Homo-oligomer: A and B are copies of this chain.
Amino acid sequence: MSTFDVELKRVVDDSYEIETGYELSGKLISDLRKGLVGKIKKFAVITDSVVEELYARHIHKLLLDEGYSSELFVFPAGEKSKVRSTKEMIEDAMLEKEYRRDCCIIAVGGGVVTDLAGFIAGTFARGVPFINYATTLLAAADASVGGKTAVDTPRATNLIGLFNQPKKVYIDIATWKTLPKNQISSGLAETIKHACMADEEFFNYLEKNMDSILKLEKEACDHISYKNCEIKYKVVMKDEKESGLREILNLGHTVGRAIETCSDYRLLHGEAVSIGLVAQTHLSRKLGYMDDSQVVRVRELLKKAALPIEIPDYIDKDELLEKLYTDKKVRDSKLRFVVQYGIGSMVEFDKNDFGISVSKEEASEILDEI
């Protein structure tokens, strides 16, 4: 009998830069030239069938023009592609094209592309570097900070994946003009969520400038892009592995995700989250953490962003309740909620016991209200 100690204590530096601007593909190439990913000369551009022609093929061509080796790997656009079989399909295509350890993945697209490509990068040849080139507001708000990558399975959303930090994130605001209006609004739901939970001043800003944002005016877009990074970063830094504090990023998502699923994805993620945000304000008011005027302000801001604030008629309330209470966060038949405290902060809890327990009856009352 003997024991052997494997000592593996080391300093890891996963720091990276998020750059926001207009038409950043030229900047990407010049960053690569300057050694952003070392001496790597082989790139895999992963994108979806919509973004391919809009932006990804252009980046692929710039890489080739620069003398790099590059291939495009395209999967059908949509949340339904964020599954293990798409990952496998891209891996096989990369292996067939002789990609090995000495490559870098560039994800060009929205959250589905960056989630999937970041996960592929994490397990391809046991990890290759990757770069995110975000072409949606939602990706800018949500997928650019935190390093969460994942795919969905028939039984669970985002439960197979890993934490993996990109080498750099580009947020190309010029791409937002090709987004459908409801996609812009969907991204704004996460932006409003950030304001609700962490920054009253930013909430005021959104109230005053929503029209400019919807018109995609430069200064406003720059500002929300920066604030999204800043707020999310603060939360993530305090809790990189999501042990507790990071739960506050789920504001509005408990009800939101259930609505998204019950709508069979007729509602976009942010649209469902918008309704979820309204729900948590009602819960918060019920518990004495928000007053009427604050609840109205949140609802009105969501409305201004052209987001839904009521549960659509085609969603069956009983089915929704059922869905909520089979959630992984149900304990002792009570569901855990995080709720905001006034505007710009959160109700705080012990880190081992985050959130408020809500019974099915209480949840039912709240859903009746909205």
Contacts and interface: CB of A to CB of B under 8 A. Distances in A.
A186 interface: no
A222 B237 CA distance: 45
The majority secondary structure among interface residues of chain A is mixed
Task: Determine how many copies of this chain the complex contains.
Answer: 2
Contact of A11 (B9, B18, B22, B119): B9
B20 A3 contact: yes
A364 to B, nearest CB: 24
A205 interface: no
A361 interface: no
A230 interface: yes
Interface residues of A, number: 62
B12 A9 contact: yes
A124 interface: yes
Given A16-B6, A124-B160, A163-B126, A95 B153 contact: yes
Q: Which of A8, A9, A22, A153 has the most B CB atoms < 10 Å from its CB?
A: A8
A17 B1 contact: no
Contacts of A153: 91-92, 95
Nearest to A161: B126
Nearest to A24: B1
A235 interface: no
A181 to B, nearest CB: 25
B15 A8 contact: yes
A127 interface: yes
A125 to B, nearest CB: 5
A161 to B, nearest CB: 5
Interface string A71-96: 00000000000001000100110011
A150 B233 CA distance: 32
A13 B96 CA distance: 36
Contact of A6 (B100, B127, B145): B145
Contacts of A100: 159, 328
A14 interface: yes
Interface in A191-248: 222, 225-226, 229-230, 233, 237, 240-242
B17 A5 contact: yes
A355 to B, nearest CB: 15
Given A123-B160, A162-B162, A237-B7, A1 B15 contact: no
Given A6-B18, A8-B14, A21-B1, A96 B155 contact: yes
A176 to B, nearest CB: 15
B162 A226 contact: no
A119 B233 CA distance: 28
Given A7-B237, A123-B123, 5 more contacts: A5-B15, A8-B12, A9-B15, A11-B12, A92-B155
17 contacts: A1-B19, A2-B19, A2-B20, A2-B225, A4-B19, A4-B230, A4-B233, A6-B15, A6-B165, A7-B237, A8-B15, A8-B147, A10-B240, A122-B123, A123-B161, A126-B163, A162-B162
